[in-house]
């Protein structure tokens, strides 16, 4: 091989390497929310579906309470700082092996692996942490409503259905003014409750 041919091949290899790195950066940027650094909805969905193969998976929906009021009172920069803080605290509280995504606006989704059966306690602690003021901005704070569901309680349901259940629990918590997370009803308990309301059931009023 001539020296010129070798130089051309080397130059092409360097060019492809630079292009590959550029493409990787573009793809990585597209998969992450620019404000919070969390996974975007599509990227979160792909990874969350894989995590749901684990029977100890827990799906959580989080929504910042009175977010518009924060923006109106303190300005959009303060609102952005609050969202970034919530994102960082959610990521820290999720622990290793879990995933957090920003679905849009002030709504976040989490899939965590409950290895030791302490999800309820962890989420109550997380709710208290999320209610703390933003660092260096003591006036910027609010609560975050959390709804959650264990995948094992709803066998064969997919991610979208589990997210819907967690979403319903989260909004129930928001409406009730609960200070802590609300767990979605177990499938068995829900079916028993429906059966108890069927007309003609023995012993029914």
The single-letter DSSP state of residue 184 is P
Looking at residue 75, its pLDDT comes to 95
pLDDT (tens digit, 9 = 90+) per residue, 28-38? 445 899 999 99
Looking at residue 4, its pLDDT comes to 60
Looking at residue 11, its pLDDT comes to 60
Residue 132: CB atoms within 10 A of its CB come to 11
pTM: 0.76
Phi, psi of 163 (to 5 degrees): -65, -40
* Mean pLDDT computed over 175-187: 75
Res. 14 pLDDT band, cuts 50 70 90: low
* CA distance linking residue 161 with residue 142, whole number of Å: 28
Buried/exposed 165-184: b ≥16 CB within 10 Å, e otherwise: bbbbbbeebbeeeeebbbbb
* CA distance linking residue 45 with residue 39, whole number of Å: 9
In the numeric block, the tokens 């998969």 are attached to: 31
Looking at residue 193, its pLDDT comes to 38
pLDDT (tens digit, 9 = 90+) per residue, 56-66? 999 999 999 99
* CA distance linking residue 192 with residue 48, whole number of Å: 30
Res. 196 pLDDT band, cuts 50 70 90: very low
**Catalytic residue IDs:** 106
Mean pLDDT for the chain overall: 82
Looking at residue 194, its pLDDT comes to 37
Is the confidence at residue 25, as pLDDT, over 80? no
The single-letter DSSP state of residue 137 is B
């Amino acid at each position: 091989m001539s020296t010129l041919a070798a130089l051309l091949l080397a130059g092409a290899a360097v060019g492809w390497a630079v292009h590959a790195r550029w493409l990787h950066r573009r793809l990585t940027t597209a998969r992450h929310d620019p404000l919070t650094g969390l996974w975007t909805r599509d990227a979160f969905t792909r990874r969350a579906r894989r995590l749901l193969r684990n029977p100890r998976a827990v799906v959580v929906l989080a929504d910042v309470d009175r977010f518009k009021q924060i923006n109106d009172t303190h300005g959009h920069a303060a609102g952005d700082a609050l969202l970034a803080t919530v994102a960082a605290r959610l990521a820290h509280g999720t622990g290793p092996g879990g995933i957090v995504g920003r679905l849009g606006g002030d709504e976040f989704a989490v899939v965590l692996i409950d290895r030791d059966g302490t999800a309820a306690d962890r989420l109550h602690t997380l709710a208290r942490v999320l209610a703390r003021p933003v660092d260096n901005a003591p006036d910027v704070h609010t609560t975050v409503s959390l709804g959650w569901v264990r995948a094992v309680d709803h066998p064969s349901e997919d991610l979208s259905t589990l997210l819907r259940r967690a979403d319903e629990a989260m909004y129930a918590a928001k409406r009730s003014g609960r200070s802590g997370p609300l767990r979605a009803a177990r499938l068995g308990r829900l079916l028993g409750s429906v059966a108890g309301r069927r007309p003609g059931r023995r012993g029914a009023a």
